[in-house]
Structure 1
Amino acid sequence: MARMKTEKDVLVAVQNDAIMMDILKTVQELDLPDWWVCAGFVRSKIWDVLHNFPQQTALPDVDVIYFDPDRVDEQYEKELEKQLERKMPQLPWSVKNQARMHHLNNVAPYTSSVDGISKFPETATALGVKLDKEDKLILTAPHGLEDVLQMVVKPSPGFEEEPLASIYRKRVKQKNWHSIWHKVTVVNPDKEEGSHAKSGSGKVR
């Protein structure tokens, strides 16, 4: 298994990925407030490296987030997606303003994009990267890197209990991560059976 144990290792892996860096530079050009490219964009790269995959796993979407409480209309997000599609049309862009996304889970408003990332259902997915004004690569991991580096999927704080636990369980079922990354272990809180862990053993594609 490839070595990846620290934040520096993660940053080096991203920096060495020309496509990821092109994506980050493209998003940077939008000059959005408090922007990040997050979730599977980072997590999948880490797991691909840890599984020694020769090619990067295709993403169902490239998650771009920002925080702008003064403009929370969803149509503007669609306009931003179109701008990104014109620059890199081969990618499945998804743009979301975290100033409105708390409504999805019926929780208190987020205070920033990083606060929004901390409310992602799984700790291993609560990750984001961006380029600062000096083009320095920055990583945020509100719940730390231990879970994603250990390839453990477990609910973020608040998603261990209902009603949010059902959101986590639905995502685990839909995403089926261990069918791609066979070393991943999923902690799946089950309302009927209590919390338990399941080790993935599906085939790697």
Structure 2
Amino acid sequence: MTPDPTAHLTDLIRDVPLLQSVLEKIESLNLPDAWLVAGSIAGIVWNHQAGQPALQGIRDLDIVYFDPQDLSADTEAALEAKFAEFPLPIDVKNQARVPLWFEAKFGVPCPPYRDTPDAIASYPTTSTTLGVRQVGKHLQICAPFGLVDLFDGVIRANGRLTTEEVYVKKTTRWVAEWPHLLVLPWSERVLPESPTVTL
């Protein structure tokens, strides 16, 4: 693993103009507890390791925020429209609203989240349990499992909320795109100790 994974991840993100522009847009909108999360962040790391273009294999960008006072799907759609200028599809989700639809989609209940880092800590794998946001001139990183698995190319299931079906589906696609990844069996799933934010 790289000696300073936080600095290395920051450098990789800074080197992708699209991600930098999206982070600046998120900050300008002043959304509550908003982060760019999950596969788009991991994907630039894996592409760097594979010597591929930074955005190869990244289908969309996921932006999340936390607003228990407005649980409207229309609000999420209106926010997505604010990112229409960008070349990749952008999915905006209020993490306070996720428990309302999660069980119908994935077959397991989702207890209410405390905040966005708590939601990030439930994402399907240790390598994609990530959030990044711009705070002034700095990047803030939320990494409940740390960054070891991400930079080691290890895919390990997060057993907090995801199912084996979701885990297999995601990892099958990822390995087709990034063959260097090592996917651990579902039986080796783990739980995060707690949501953490690294400055």
The two structures share one fold, judged by TM-score above 0.5: yes
What SS does structure 2 have at the residue aligned with 1:29? helix
- One-letter amino acid matched to 1:60: R
Q: Alpha-carbon deviation of 1:64? A: 0.4
1:128 alignment partner AA:
G
Whichever of the two has the greater Rg, that structure is 1
C-alpha displacement at 1:3, in angstroms?
A: 5.6
Write out per-residue CA displacement over residues 69-118 of structure 1, whole angstroms, 9 at most, x where no aligned residue.
Answer: 00011111011001111x32x22010000002134141211111111111
C-alpha distance in structure 2 between counterparts of 1:47 and 1:170, whole Å: 18
Q: Distance in 2 between matches of 1:23 and 1:4?
A: 28
Instruction: Indicate the residue corresponding to 2:179 in structure 1.
Output: 182
How far residue 139 of structure 1 moved from its aligned partner, in angstroms, is: 1.1
Q: Taking structure 1 as reference, are residues 148 and 130 closer, same or farther at Cα in structure 2, changes over 3 Å only?
A: same
Counterparts of residues 1-205 of structure 1 (less than 5 Å): 6-85=5-84, 87-88=85-86, 90-103=87-100, 104=102, 105-132=108-135, 134-158=136-160, 164-173=163-172, 176-189=173-186, 195=187
Paired letter, 1:153: I
Q: Give the unaligned 5+ runs of structure 1.
A: 190-194, 197-205
Alpha carbons 1:4, 1:149 under 8 Å: kept:
no
TM-score norm. by structure 2 comes to 0.83
**Shift, 1:16, TM fit:** 2.3
CA distance in 1, matches of 2:61, 2:54: 17
Shift of 1:43: 0.4
Would the aligned equivalents of 1:48 and 1:181 in 2 still touch at CA under 8 Å?
A: yes
After TM superposition, which residue ranges in structure 1, 4 or more long, deviate above 4 angstroms?
2-5
Task: Give 1:180 shift.
Answer: 1.2
Aligned residues with identical type, % of pairs: 27
Structure 1 residues 71 and 54: alpha-carbon distance in aligned structure 2, compared to 1, 3 A threshold: closer
Count of residue correspondences: 183
Separation (CA, whole Å) in 2 of partners of 1:154 and 1:102: 24
> Secondary structure of 2:167's match?
helix
Does the 8 Å contact 2:27/2:134 carry over to 1?
yes
Question: Contact 2:2/2:151 (CA < 8 Å) preserved in 1?
Answer: no
Which residue identity lines up with residue 133 of structure 2 in the other structure? K
Measured on the aligned residues, the alpha-carbon RMSD in Å equals 2.2
